[in-house]
Structure 1
């Protein structure tokens, strides 16, 4: 039976499916729900953080803008712009006002002031100011890189610091990343421009505010202006980044895609997804700093907790699955084990071992089935034993009856020959023949049903010796038995009746010398063949066909009427039946009879001699 049709296989498959699928479905649903919940939680937390950061940045920029209003708070500052540089008192008061602005904003790197009234430019990058007479202000301060031309104050995005056209104080002074607050100074309420003020602010405060928003090892933070240019990015300053352009393009593309997702313009706050990352943003809402804080959270970071929780659940589920598999195998083997054992017992019984001891310790239905099966086999064995005993007794009676039929033929022919010798007064020869007859009678009265081929051949030789006395020179005998066949078992009284047929049906009517040949050979390890040939008259074809029918093993044991076989074939029929009765099951003896051209009959007897 194929293992795929086994009850054990089906039971194991069913139990594994019934336990594994719900377990895996539970893990999948838990992961999806946990992932969704953590996503929403992370979004809310990051929105609150970024909103607070935007408030802090607004306050920071507003503080710098308020500090720049000092040029209006000092009533003498606007008049002093026209007195530069000849009035030293005016110069000192302007310097004091600029220092006030510098001290009000902690991240001031340098201040630049240009007066249109006096064509005087001032740069305060260290305690000692620099002044130069210039006909116009430094172009970036006048027009700005991000100003729209309609506002008196604007913030220039992050850029590398410069000296506003002044000569560097020291070759060691290296530029740094700054943002610049530009303010146009007007003669209020007149719209006339008196000058321009530029305040360079380093990134320390912005970095401090943004550093609390993200994990540098896993996330990224950007501050982007209205033109999608980077104001600040996490990990490193802009000027230190080797791929500044790439980062700017990445942030700009993300923000542009966010705008496309959200509509024509981004809302003040929100989020969007792109390139396996979540982007959370918040606009500052300042009129002069159109900045947006963007936090990039990779999906693997966003769902790290969900993944970790899923892995924990998976480990527990795997352990549970192993336990389920072991329990399933144990239960299935426990249930089907007695059934398998019972099947093995049945296989042994099918192979012929009917007395196998059926023992099952199980007390369930399989144990009850095994006990009933054992009782049934005991009953069957008893019936088979009785049938065998009856069959053996029947065979014994049949053999004895057949032997009783053979002996009268034999005695009649032999006594006729000895009587002839007695009439001729050949006493010594008669004694020899009587001695041979006594040996033959002793052999025929033995209780053994099977003898060796050597013993049967000796009995046939004694019989032919008696027949030679009868026929004299008219009979020629040839006997040749192979050595490897002499010990083969054969039913007793097999050869003599076959030889006797020749003397009954052919020897008396045959002209000339009669020839009888008896040989044996081994066909293979299990079978031997005995061949008897004579040169007597041939058998008519219709009679030969009829004889061949009851020579078949299937017909040998059937009750064939004597009229159909003929009284002249009693000896041959007896041999056929005795061979059939003594053959092992499945290995019947076979006899073939054929005519020899031009005269004679050939008998081939094939016997099983394997045991």
Structure 2
């Protein structure tokens, strides 16, 4: 809540053009966020469709491979149960003449050759019987390793006429399959020999690539983490292990991103993997994403500068009007009028500007009409205030000088006359402002005169700080405070009295404190003194004089405090600003 309030205060302090740009940021930012989110959602759905299509393509491919393997199984089965072949092999098994046996074997060879030539994936068909006679036919001879030959014979024997196969390996990349031929004519199931098919797995895969529509096809087939087939060994040695039945992943191989789609065959339990560069299929999506982001960024920057220029165009008259008002605050009315252009407009700002110019003219007229009157009035006020200097002090001082002369105290009389002359010169001067240092020197002259009158009844202590010549106050401001201290502290006390004058600086203010340890005042009298309600000579008239002149000079930026307590004395504290030292009244 406090954070929201803080942001609200910051927003309120913005200029109008900044507020317009801020609102633009919010609106366009929300629009951009929603648009980008919608685009990302749409492209994500499209990506999922691509993933599903890729998996579907691989599914068709696997089914086709399984059908190819089924065809191999069917071919071996059709040969094994063919009536003519069964009859021929049964007769051959009963022949004791070797030449006749070989002659029939030659005929059987032709049948096997026709079968081999009819399927381009079959490299060789091998027939062997119990006598170890081996018949090898096919378009291309492939030497079958002895260990694989023995293994397929064992597996065929264990299958009792069922179809068996040995998966290709990197060392022998051919699918080896086969079955035992059992005698079915009389259902004796006697052994008539073993058929072995050698199939080129590359041919099987390559002629079915059409089901994979991606541009670059990298196929690999795994069986128990052993490679059955691969068409590019550069990639598949770095792919991670696969444990689930089907799916797709995005993987990194050699610092490049690839899309890997995989599916496990239920028939063979082989895992088929199709791997291709990510950009081959997702390039369009990547380009769309990039174009959308770049488009939004360019649109945002363009709209920002357009909005900034528009906001400045709209708010420029208001800012000029505000600047003109600030010039008015400095009292430069003519400069404020010159700052505003003369273009007439019917908009709200134009009407406001017109009324403001009218107001300036009226204020200038009023100032010119009343300026001289106010100057005369202030001058009269100053002179009237100066006229309030206590006349009793003058009478008593002259009387003291008279007695000094009669007593032949000429030097003291001379010094007193000089001090009195200084006081009268300042009181009657046309200067209404003096420095604090000049005022303090005037107080010293005043104290010199009063010491002759009161003698040991009063002691004066002055404590001052440096730099008093830099600060200005109304003339004759400190002397009346000392005069009041003498009146309330000395004349009303039977004991010797001490009057302290202390000046000290406190940040941007100067404190002038005049205190005494006399009898003090009762609360009722103190309240009357504070309100300038005491009318007798010497009682409060000097303070009112000071307050009126301080008000004319400092307005309300000063303090005049009075504290007094019976038996403890009275203190008057005047606080004036030190930063206002450049006025000339």
**Aligned counterpart, 1:123:** 134
Residues in 2 aligned to 1:140 and 1:501: alpha-carbon distance in whole angstroms: 134
Residues in 2 aligned to 1:432 and 1:73: alpha-carbon distance in whole angstroms: 161
Displacement after TM superposition at 1:25 (Å): 0.7
Displacement after TM superposition at 1:93 (Å): 1.2
Residues in 2 aligned to 1:330 and 1:364: alpha-carbon distance in whole angstroms: 27
Residues in 2 aligned to 1:566 and 1:41: alpha-carbon distance in whole angstroms: 112
Residues in 2 aligned to 1:538 and 1:349: alpha-carbon distance in whole angstroms: 54
Taking structure 1 as reference, are residues 318 and 531 closer, same or farther at Cα in structure 2, changes over 3 Å only?
closer
2:519 to 538, 550, 553: 538
Q: Secondary structure at the match of 1:325?
A: helix
Rg (Cα) greater in structure:
1
Kindly indicate whether residue 71 of structure 2 is the aligned counterpart of residue 89 of structure 1.
Answer: no
Residues in 1 aligned to 2:397 and 2:80: alpha-carbon distance in whole angstroms: 159
Q: Secondary structure at the match of 2:554?
A: coil
Taking structure 1 as reference, are residues 595 and 375 closer, same or farther at Cα in structure 2, changes over 3 Å only?
same
8 Å contact kept, 1:50–1:293: no
Kindly indicate whether residue 297 of structure 2 is the aligned counterpart of residue 322 of structure 1.
Answer: yes
Displacement after TM superposition at 1:302 (Å): 11
8 Å contact kept, 1:579–1:589: no
1:208 to 186, 203, 206: 203
**Aligned counterpart, 2:427:** 444
**Aligned counterpart, 2:551:** 581
Taking structure 1 as reference, are residues 486 and 39 closer, same or farther at Cα in structure 2, changes over 3 Å only?
closer
1:178 to 176, 194, 203: 176
**Aligned counterpart, 2:126:** 110
Superposition pairs of residues 247-326 of structure 1, within 5 angstroms: 254=245, 279=263, 296=272, 307-326=282-301
Residues in 2 aligned to 1:450 and 1:366: alpha-carbon distance in whole angstroms: 48
Displacement after TM superposition at 1:372 (Å): 6.8
Q: Which runs of 5+ in 1 are unaligned?
A: 115-119, 128-137, 162-172, 258-275, 284-290, 551-559
Residues in 2 aligned to 1:52 and 1:313: alpha-carbon distance in whole angstroms: 35
8 Å contact kept, 2:389–2:542: no
Residues in 1 aligned to 2:384 and 2:432: alpha-carbon distance in whole angstroms: 13
**Aligned counterpart, 1:157:** 165
Taking structure 1 as reference, are residues 578 and 193 closer, same or farther at Cα in structure 2, changes over 3 Å only?
closer
Please tell me the root mean square deviation across aligned C-alpha atoms, in Å.
Answer: 5.7
8 Å contact kept, 1:154–1:182: yes
Q: Residue deviations 1:136-158, cap 9 Å, x none?
A: xx9987994685x6xxx653233
Displacement after TM superposition at 1:374 (Å): 6.9
Displacement after TM superposition at 1:180 (Å): 0.8
Displacement after TM superposition at 1:444 (Å): 1.8
8 Å contact kept, 1:157–1:231: no
Q: Residue deviations 1:255-293, cap 9 Å, x none?
A: 9x9xxxxxxxxxxxxxxxxxx956497x9xxxxxxx679
Superposition pairs of residues 422-501 of structure 1, within 5 angstroms: 437-463=420-446, 471=453, 478=460, 480=462, 482=464, 484=466, 486-487=468-469, 488-501=471-484
Taking structure 1 as reference, are residues 327 and 608 closer, same or farther at Cα in structure 2, changes over 3 Å only?
same
Displacement after TM superposition at 1:207 (Å): 3.6
Residues in 1 aligned to 2:411 and 2:75: alpha-carbon distance in whole angstroms: 162
Residues in 1 aligned to 2:173 and 2:310: alpha-carbon distance in whole angstroms: 84
Q: Secondary structure at the match of 1:592?
A: strand
**Aligned counterpart, 1:12:** 25
Displacement after TM superposition at 1:95 (Å): 2.9
Residues in 2 aligned to 1:324 and 1:175: alpha-carbon distance in whole angstroms: 58
Q: Residue deviations 1:311-354, cap 9 Å, x none?
A: 12111112112213323533454455576994996899599767
**Aligned counterpart, 1:572:** 542
8 Å contact kept, 1:548–1:593: no
Q: Secondary structure at the match of 2:304?
A: helix
8 Å contact kept, 1:158–1:230: no
* TM-score (norm. length: structure 2): 0.66
Displacement after TM superposition at 1:217 (Å): 6.3
Displacement after TM superposition at 1:421 (Å): 7.4
Q: Secondary structure at the match of 1:493?
A: coil
Displacement after TM superposition at 1:440 (Å): 3.5
Q: Secondary structure at the match of 1:203?
A: strand
Taking structure 1 as reference, are residues 416 and 181 closer, same or farther at Cα in structure 2, changes over 3 Å only?
same
Q: Secondary structure at the match of 1:546?
A: helix
**Aligned counterpart, 2:253:** none
Q: Which runs of 5+ in 2 are unaligned?
A: 1-5, 118-122, 139-149, 248-259
Q: Residue deviations 1:473-526, cap 9 Å, x none?
A: 5766646463626524332122443344467677677668x6664533324464
Kindly indicate whether residue 34 of structure 2 is the aligned counterpart of residue 21 of structure 1.
Answer: yes
Displacement after TM superposition at 1:310 (Å): 2.0
8 Å contact kept, 2:58–2:263: no
**Aligned counterpart, 2:110:** 100
Q: Secondary structure at the match of 1:406?
A: coil
Range 427-436 or range 392-401, more displaced: 427-436
**Aligned counterpart, 1:263:** none
Kindly indicate whether residue 218 of structure 2 is the aligned counterpart of residue 196 of structure 1.
Answer: no
**Aligned counterpart, 2:84:** 72
Q: Secondary structure at the match of 2:129?
A: strand
8 Å contact kept, 1:185–1:197: no
Taking structure 1 as reference, are residues 235 and 344 closer, same or farther at Cα in structure 2, changes over 3 Å only?
farther
Residues in 2 aligned to 1:91 and 1:361: alpha-carbon distance in whole angstroms: 126
Q: Residue deviations 1:354-402, cap 9 Å, x none?
A: 7697779999989759957975995798599789988766544332212
Displacement after TM superposition at 1:566 (Å): 4.7
Residues in 2 aligned to 1:158 and 1:254: alpha-carbon distance in whole angstroms: 22
Q: Secondary structure at the match of 1:83?
A: coil
* TM-score (norm. length: structure 1): 0.64
Q: Residue deviations 1:97-145, cap 9 Å, x none?
A: 343244332532531124xxxxx45233699xxxxxxxxxx99879946
Displacement after TM superposition at 1:202 (Å): 1.1
8 Å contact kept, 2:485–2:499: no
Kindly indicate whether residue 230 of structure 2 is the aligned counterpart of residue 235 of structure 1.
Answer: yes
Displacement after TM superposition at 1:581 (Å): 1.8
